[in-house]
Amino acid sequence: MLVTISILVGALIGVLYARKRGGNKLDMAQHAAVFGLIFGIAALFVNVAMIRVM
């Protein structure tokens, strides 16, 4: 659940970032994908750390 939400939040941030910098739809899609992956991988590490602590 945490990873899925993080991917969606990262994609939203990526779209907003590309829009702020004046990007077209393809730029927004690329930034959404990259930010989604970054946030998703970070959340995956946090999830694994939380499971290992418990």
Please list, in sequence order, all residues whose beta carbon lies within 8 angstroms of the beta carbon of residue 28, skipping any fewer than 6 positions away: 14, 15, 18, 19
Predicted pLDDT at 8 = 98
Predicted pLDDT at 50 = 95
Angstrom distances, CA of residue 44 to CA of 1, 30, 35: 10, 21, 14
Predicted pLDDT at 52 = 95
For 7-47, write each residue's pLDDT tens digit: 999 999 999 999 999 999 999 999 999 999 999 999 999 99
Predicted pLDDT at 29 = 98
Predicted pLDDT at 5 = 97
pTM as predicted: 0.89
Predicted pLDDT at 53 = 94
